A and B are shown apart, each in its own frame.
Chain A
Amino acid sequence: MPHTTPQTPGLFSLSLSKTVEFALNQALRLDEAQGAAFKDFEDKTFAVTFTDLGLTLYLFFTSYGVNVQNALQGEADARIETDLPSLLGLRETGRLSRVTLHGDVPLAEALIDALTSIEIDWEEHLSHYTGDLIAFKVGHATRSAMAATQAAKRQAGETLKEYLQFELEVLPTASQLQRFGDSVQRTQAAVDAIETRVQALLDRL
């Protein structure tokens, strides 16, 4: 099977795909119709290209929800070419202002309709990216590197938060939990100290 090689899969596109995935899944969970509009898409694959960013996200639906990633083995069933302003305006205008469809065109149209039918504030979800998006678009090496670093930092913070919030229950007993809590604080302090030192070392390069 041909492998669709992703554009340099930097941290930027990685965290963007994760954000889009999160936004879609959250909207589907909150959707009054419980995502009924998406029922027919099970196992269908879509490629959504943002021409202004030169970036493609692959999107597909399984019974577990929406998945978004920046590579896909083989061809997507339908391809949608649009740009970021069109997506940001989707909620207000009820359509993608600039769009080209390829592959299974009716399928692509159905997806756009479904996306229009659920409440997603793309602007809000993508708001903390706008700076990064500009950096990315400019494509200037240092600026996109900075964006990647920022994204990585945010990501590291988020994963720890996510971990603390949702996964503490893996710990067996209350007393262990207590001990864990204490050690996390100490670990966090140690990690912070290391991070500062590594950063200091890197700064001296």
Chain B
Amino acid sequence: MNQSKKTIDFGFSEVPLEEKVKRVKGVFDSVAGKYDVMNDVMSLGIHRLWKRHTIELSGVRPGQTVLDLAGGTGDLTKAFAKRVGKSGRVVLADINESMVRVGRDRLINEGIAGNVEYTITNAEALAFPDNTFDLATIAFGLRNVTNKDKALAELYRVLKPGGQLMVLEFSKVTQPLLAKAYDFYSFNILPKMGKLIADDEASYQYLAESIRMHPDQDTLKQMMLDAGFDKADYLNMNEGIVALHRGWKY
């Protein structure tokens, strides 16, 4: 098929495939510096709790090798680096150089060095050999990836047998009333706050829309199984505002 004719959702507006990659990059370029603030705003400040939950559930231990894909400014990388220690290794991989730069500077500033590598990489074509990682995470990143099936298959490939993938992502709110309230928040309040904080209403609008377009819990679980994972499950956090999907390679 002629790829350039193929359109794909960019938030609610359909755009040609290669346009999406560029636009997503644009969104993150424009927010990289204030990204951490944005995360707090988007999640009402509780993304830290969701991340902590993810880290703890990973059961990560000293000496392990971890991939933090779409790692952005490195929240998870930082926590994993402390946990795997000097005998382990964490790779922060992201498609966007400005995000990685902000992340690297921040981590070095905080004394995290020696066991972290930074690499610019597209989730759809990971530059790592098969069976490399004990654990791979992609937090608030999958919804921005154009070809999610390809990314999931790549994640499966780079995991060691016995390894685990954790996908943390905004998902479908299960409680109807809360779903309404949350929608109202994302589409009316969030972009306004984006304007206030980052002077960037459009990016926040995109974020709200991309959340809405992201596959729901069961769809994503099935996508993981289709990508090769031998087992997959998910758990909802805050009524499904965010879901943590886990996939295992045996």
Of the candidates B37, B56, B64, which one forms a contact with A71 in the assembled complex, judged by CB atoms under 8 Å apart? B56
Q: Are B86 and A62 interface neighbours, CB within 8 A?
A: yes
Q: Are B83 and A67 interface neighbours, CB within 8 A?
A: yes
Distance in angstroms between the alpha carbons of A141 and B72 in the assembled complex: 38
Of the candidates B49, B83, B193, which one forms a contact with A62 in the assembled complex, judged by CB atoms under 8 Å apart? B83
Q: Are A4 and B46 interface neighbours, CB within 8 A?
A: no
Distance in angstroms between the alpha carbons of A19 and B86 in the assembled complex: 24
Knowing A1-B162, A198-B181 touch, does A156 contact B44 (C-beta < 8 A)?
Answer: yes
User: Would you list which residues of chain B between 179 and 216 have a CB under 8 Å from chain A?
Assistant: 180-181, 185, 189, 193, 196-197
Return chain B residues, CB-CB under 8 Å to A155.
46, 49
Distance in angstroms between the alpha carbons of A202 and B176 in the assembled complex: 10
Interface string of B23-66 (1 = CB under 8 A from A): 00000000001101100110011101100110111111111100
**For the complex, would chain B's binding face be called helix, strand, loop or mixed by DSSP majority?**
helix
User: Would you list which residues of chain A between 31 and 50 have a CB under 8 Å from chain B?
Assistant: 42-45
Q: Are B55 and A69 interface neighbours, CB within 8 A?
A: yes
Q: Are A187 and B196 interface neighbours, CB within 8 A?
A: yes
Distance in angstroms between the alpha carbons of A6 and B54 in the assembled complex: 12
User: Would you list which residues of chain B between 59 and 114 have a CB under 8 Å from chain A?
Assistant: 59-64, 81-87, 102, 106, 111-112
Q: Are B44 and A195 interface neighbours, CB within 8 A?
A: yes
A138 within 8 A of B: no
Q: By the criterion of a CB under 8 Å from any partner CB, how many residues of chain B are at the interface?
A: 46
B154 within 8 A of A: no
Q: Are B178 and A201 interface neighbours, CB within 8 A?
A: yes
B134 within 8 A of A: yes
Q: Are A73 and B44 interface neighbours, CB within 8 A?
A: no
Knowing A62-B82, A156-B46 touch, does A186 contact B59 (C-beta < 8 A)?
Answer: no
Q: Are A191 and B86 interface neighbours, CB within 8 A?
A: no
Q: Are A17 and B56 interface neighbours, CB within 8 A?
A: yes
Knowing A180-B197, A205-B177 touch, does A160 contact B82 (C-beta < 8 A)?
Answer: no
Q: With A159-B46, A187-B41, A191-B45 given, can you name 6 additional A-B contacts, CB distance below 8 Å?
A: A18-B52, A62-B84, A69-B83, A73-B164, A156-B46, A194-B189
* A contact set with B: CB distance below 8 Å: 1, 3-4, 6, 9, 11, 14, 17-18, 42-45, 58, 60, 62-65, 67, 69-74, 152, 155-156, 159-160, 163, 167, 170-172, 180, 183, 186-187, 190-191, 194-195, 197-198, 201-202, 204-205
* B contact set with A: CB distance below 8 Å: 33-34, 36-37, 40-41, 44-46, 48-49, 52-53, 55-64, 81-87, 102, 106, 111-112, 134, 162, 164, 177-178, 180-181, 185, 189, 193, 196-197
Q: List 12 A-B contacts (CB under 8 A).
A: A14-B52, A14-B56, A43-B87, A62-B83, A63-B85, A64-B85, A69-B56, A152-B46, A156-B44, A156-B45, A160-B40, A171-B33
Counting from the closest, the 3 A-B pairs by CB-CB distance are: A62-B85, A71-B59, A43-B62
